[in-house]
Amino acid sequence: MSLLSVENLDVRHGLLQAVRGVSIAVDHGEIVALIGANGAGKTTLLRSIAGAHPPVAGVIRLDGVDVTHVPAYRRVSMGIALVPEGRRLFSAMTVEENLLLAGASRRKGEWNVERVMEAFPMLKARRSALCGSLSGGEQQATAIGRALMTNPRILLLDEVSLGLSPHAVNLVYASLDGLMASGATIVLVEQDLKRALRVATRVVCMLEGRIVLEGRAREVTREQVTQAYFGLRRDHAPAAESHP
């Protein structure tokens, strides 16, 4: 049984249908890169999975349990954690305070403040710094650490590299490498196609709210991904591989 299962999901922003009949399954230990141009529906899909944006149709299951109408705060305690686009930290609170705030509702597990500091060494010297004074890379590391403090079963990372310098992106991903190697289950939205293909076990490409390409990262070509990304093969089958 898949850890996360999304079936025929429709999500709207008012009259705009942002997600159209999306079905996706994520297995334990998988790293799924969710890619697509701006407006493809990636962020809306992650927010709906996390409970921050209710769907108008479809079903979301976590380990077989229907969580479609479960409030976001309860999904956190069940093991779904979202690192939102833009980080959304409490800028007037310190790094440690942001982490501890998330830890107040955490599941039992290995993640605590010290474990986050080990995973993201760049934060050790900034532990008592206000989040508003951090660099972009430090803020992203804090946002990921905050999500990890809940001891998630599945981690949803939205636009990890957005707005960061290449050096900051490298630092963040260097820290994430250990997490990915540990068997964590991750759905990652990433605009950097090269990096997404490198870290993911599976790639899912969205276009205008639909999945138009899905396949093992090592099996899909950059040309296939690029064509799907820009909608150059819309007359073809939407998936490179079926996934139960």
More confident residue, 35 or 104: 35
pLDDT at 233: 57
pLDDT for 239 beyond 80: no
pLDDT for 112 beyond 90: yes
pLDDT at 31: 96
How far from the centroid of its chain's Cα atoms is residue 36's Cα?
14
Q: Within 10 A of 63 (CB to CB), how many other CB atoms are there?
A: 15
Helix (H, G, I), strand (E, B) or coil at 90: coil
Considering only CA atoms, which of 110, 96, 101, 100 is closest in space to residue 138? 96
Amino acid at 147: A
pTM for the predicted model, two decimal places? 0.89
Considering only CA atoms, which of 145, 174, 170 is closest in space to residue 157? 145
Q: Where are the alpha helices (DSSP H) in the chain?
A: 42-50, 72-78, 95-103, 113-119, 136-148, 166-181, 193-199, 222-229
| Digit-coded pLDDT (tens) for 1-43 | 899 999 999 999 999 999 999 999 999 999 999 999 999 999 9
Stretch 102-119: mean pLDDT? 88
What share of the chain has pLDDT > 90, as a percent?
69
Q: Within 10 A of 199 (CB to CB), how many other CB atoms are there?
A: 18
Spatial distance between the Cα atoms of 160 and 157, rounded to a whole number of angstroms: 6
CATH of domain 4-229: 3.40.50.300
| Digit-coded pLDDT (tens) for 114-173 | 999 999 999 999 999 999 999 999 999 999 999 999 999 999 999 888 888 889 889 899
More confident residue, 108 or 126: 126
Per DSSP, 37 falls in state S
How far from the centroid of its chain's Cα atoms is residue 71's Cα?
18
Considering only CA atoms, which of 102, 87, 83, 89 is closest in space to residue 189? 83
Instruction: Give the C-alpha distances (Å, rounded to integers) separating 15 from 24, 42, 49.
Output: 24, 18, 20
DSSP 216-242: ETTTS-HHHHHHHHTTTTTTS-S-SS-
